[in-house]
């Protein structure tokens, strides 16, 4: 089978021939039908030696959907032939967080990082840019019924991360409704693979006004298609424009899917007191947290990471209901290297999805 692998730190992705794995014990073999590309794949490819707790070589791809092809003798969960999406954060499976389905916040993560055994498919363990993916346990598989696999795969990362981030700002949206009855407002910064899904998830699960911001006109057009109430490319007066849309002292929550110092500054400049800033994007931006200082009183800052299995069940249900639709740009697996270059150059609209051809 083919596999797009990171063979050594700083090396280019390489398409190699690999043995089809044979599942043992609880393991489950999934025939990959679709695998999304993520900005984090680019971070993995660009990482300096020892920057990440992984040991190359391994196959890339942590956003995977397919059909169960073969079960280990002790496998639990979905049966052969079922279409599934792979829950990407592979925790220890036994701590309190994992037992609650929050393997993204596994209590043993530090020890597992220390061991450099990898934290999931394509993240130190062999991932889904291949024909067959070996998954440690059926607990990491979620049936998706007849959902198109090119829709299902991006839900396991872009959709799940966006849904989890929206869950984290719900308290601020609930607080917003107290008093004069003017609805809540949320600014979504960065309408890419995650941001366009966050707009849809907000429209499907909250009554808040959704204000979209990006540097690209085509991204604002996508936000509009996804149901944003308002969208603007970033300009010098963007903070004023956004504040004026809220009919009050500012917005209740900001979802920053870019995460640079500039987007963090913009987000902070439009938040009202007691608002929530959710830093999702890995842009490396910084902000100074100090009292006394310039931050809004009562500011709540959240750094959500990926999502829980219950979150994944919810976002898959939204997709199956038609409330969430992923904008995808499809590539055959044989053109994986081209897809990675297209993502790196900012040329992907929505989410890039690779399909074994
Ligand atoms: C995964 C692993 C490490 C960093 C970031 C990520 C995200 O892409 C998961 O959504
Ligand atoms: Zn990712
Ligand atoms: Zn755990």
Is residue 155 a part of any domain in this protein?
Answer: no
Instruction: Name the one residue in this structure whose structure tokens are 């090396």.
Output: 11
pTM of the model: 0.96
Omega into 292 within 30° of 0, i.e. cis?
yes
Q: Whose CA is nearest to atom 9 of ligand 1?
A: 306
Separation of CA 157 and ligand 1 centre (Å): 8
pLDDT value at 313 more than 80: yes
Question: Are the beta carbons of 275 and 250 closer than 8 angstroms?
Answer: yes
> Looking at residue 292, what is its pLDDT?
93
List CB contacts of 336: < 8 A, sequence separation 6 or more.
Answer: 4, 13, 15, 129, 354
**Are residues 199 and 287 located together in one domain of the fold?**
yes
* Nearest atom (ligand 1) to Cα of 160: 10
**Are residues 332 and 257 located together in one domain of the fold?**
no
Average of pLDDT values for 99-114?
A: 96
Average of pLDDT values for 315-328?
A: 98
Residue 172: pLDDT band (50, 70, 90) is confident
Tens digit of pLDDT for each residue in 13-31? 999 999 999 999 999 999 9
pLDDT value at 163 more than 60: yes
CA distance 350 to 354: 13
- Of the candidates 69, 58, 67, 64, which has an alpha carbon nearest to the alpha carbon of residue 3? 58
Strand order in the sheet with 58-59: 13-17, 2-6, 58-59
> Looking at residue 177, what is its pLDDT?
63
**Are residues 205 and 112 located together in one domain of the fold?**
no
Separation of CA 38 and ligand 1 centre (Å): 8
Kindly identify the ligand whose nearest atom is closest to the C-alpha of 351: 2
Q: How far is CA 261 from the centre of its chain?
A: 20
Mean of the per-residue pLDDT values of the chain: 95
Pocket test for ligand 1, best of 53, 62, 351 (most atoms within 8 A of CB): 62
pLDDT value at 259 more than 80: yes
**Are residues 31 and 138 located together in one domain of the fold?**
yes
**Residue 27, SS3 per DSSP:** coil
Q: What is the dihedral of CA 338, 339, 342, 346, to 10 degrees?
A: -160
**Are residues 338 and 263 located together in one domain of the fold?**
no
Is residue 153 a part of any domain in this protein?
Answer: no
**Are residues 245 and 291 located together in one domain of the fold?**
yes
Question: Are the beta carbons of 286 and 264 closer than 8 angstroms?
Answer: yes
Is residue 318 a part of any domain in this protein?
Answer: no
CA distance 249 to 269: 11
Q: How many domains does the chain have?
A: 2
Is residue 9 a part of any domain in this protein?
Answer: yes
Is residue 150 a part of any domain in this protein?
Answer: no
CATH code, 287: 3.40.50.720
CA distance 207 to 185: 9
**Are residues 172 and 102 located together in one domain of the fold?**
no
pLDDT value at 104 more than 60: yes
Separation of CA 334 and ligand 2 centre (Å): 21
Average of pLDDT values for 163-167?
A: 97
CATH code, 332: 3.90.180.10
Tell me which residue range forms the domain holding 136. Answer: 2-143+327-355
pLDDT value at 181 more than 70: no
Is residue 156 a part of any domain in this protein?
Answer: no
Average of pLDDT values for 209-234?
A: 97
User: Token digits for 109?
Assistant: 């993560």
**Are residues 167 and 282 located together in one domain of the fold?**
yes
* Nearest atom (ligand 1) to Cα of 306: 10
* Nearest atom (ligand 1) to Cα of 40: 8
Average of pLDDT values for 271-288?
A: 95
CA atoms within 13 A on the CB side of 290: 6
**Are residues 290 and 190 located together in one domain of the fold?**
yes
CA distance 202 to 73: 42
> Looking at residue 182, what is its pLDDT?
61
What is the Rg, in whole angstroms, of the alpha carbon atoms belonging to the chain? 20
* Nearest atom (ligand 1) to Cα of 39: 8
pLDDT value at 68 more than 60: yes
Q: Whose CA is nearest to atom 4 of ligand 1?
A: 40
**Are residues 135 and 263 located together in one domain of the fold?**
no
Is residue 154 a part of any domain in this protein?
Answer: no
> Looking at residue 50, what is its pLDDT?
87
Question: Are the beta carbons of 351 and 327 closer than 8 angstroms?
Answer: yes
* Nearest atom (ligand 1) to Cα of 158: 10
Separation of CA 140 and ligand 3 centre (Å): 13
Q: Whose CA is nearest to atom 5 of ligand 1?
A: 40
pLDDT value at 187 more than 80: yes
Residue 183: pLDDT band (50, 70, 90) is confident
Pocket test for ligand 1, best of 41, 53, 60, 157 (most atoms within 8 A of CB): 157
**Are residues 137 and 173 located together in one domain of the fold?**
no
> Looking at residue 78, what is its pLDDT?
98
Pocket test for ligand 1, best of 58, 103, 306, 311 (most atoms within 8 A of CB): 306
Q: Is the CB of 200 under 6 A from ligand 1?
A: no
Separation of CA 323 and ligand 3 centre (Å): 32
CA atoms within 13 A on the CB side of 275: 24
Is residue 294 a part of any domain in this protein?
Answer: yes
Residue 232: pLDDT band (50, 70, 90) is very high
**Are residues 50 and 136 located together in one domain of the fold?**
yes
Separation of CA 154 and ligand 1 centre (Å): 13
């Amino acid at each position: 089978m083919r596999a797009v692998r990171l063979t050594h730190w700083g090396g280019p992705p390489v398409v190699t021939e690999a043995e089809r794995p044979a599942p043992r014990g609880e393991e489950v073999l999934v025939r990959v039908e679709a695998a999304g590309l993520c900005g984090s794949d680019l971070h993995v490819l660009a990482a300096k030696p020892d920057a990440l707790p992984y040991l190359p070589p391994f196959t890339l791809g942590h956003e995977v959907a397919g059909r169960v092809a073969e079960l280990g003798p002790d496998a639990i969960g979905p049966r052969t032939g079922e279409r599934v999406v792979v829950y990407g954060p592979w925790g220890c499976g036994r701590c309190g967080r994992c037992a609650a389905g929050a393997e993204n916040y596994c209590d043993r993560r530090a020890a597992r990082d220390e061991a450099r055994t990898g934290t999931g498919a394509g993240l130190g363990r062999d991932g889904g840019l291949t024909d067959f993916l070996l998954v440690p346990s059926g607990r990491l598989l979620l049936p998706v019924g007849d959902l198109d696999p090119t829709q299902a795969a991006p839900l396991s990362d872009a959709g799940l991360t966006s849904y989890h981030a929206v869950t984290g700002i719900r308290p601020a949206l609930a607080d917003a409704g107290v008093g004069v009855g003017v609805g809540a407002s949320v600014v979504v910064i960065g309408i890419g693979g995650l941001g366009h899904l966050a707009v849809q998830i907000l429209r499907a699960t909250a009554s808040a006004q959704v204000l979209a911001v990006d540097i690209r006109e085509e991204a604002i057009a996508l936000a509009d298609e996804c149901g944003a109430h308002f969208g603007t490319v970033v300009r010098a007066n963007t903070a004023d424009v956004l504040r004026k849309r809220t009919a009050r002292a500012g917005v209740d929550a900001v979802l920053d899917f870019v995460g640079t110092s500039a987007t963090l500054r913009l987000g902070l400049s439009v938040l009202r007191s007691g608002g929530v800033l959710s830093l999702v994007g890995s842009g490396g931006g910084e902000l100074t947290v100090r009292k006394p200082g310039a931050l809004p009183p009562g500011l709540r800052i959240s750094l959500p990471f990926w999502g829980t299995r219950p979150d994944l069940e919810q976002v898959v249900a939204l997709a199956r209901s038609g409330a969430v639709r992923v904008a995808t740009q499809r590539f055959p697996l044989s053109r994986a290297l081209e897809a990675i270059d297209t993502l790196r150059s900012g040329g992907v609209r929505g989410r890039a999805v690779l399909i074994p051809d």
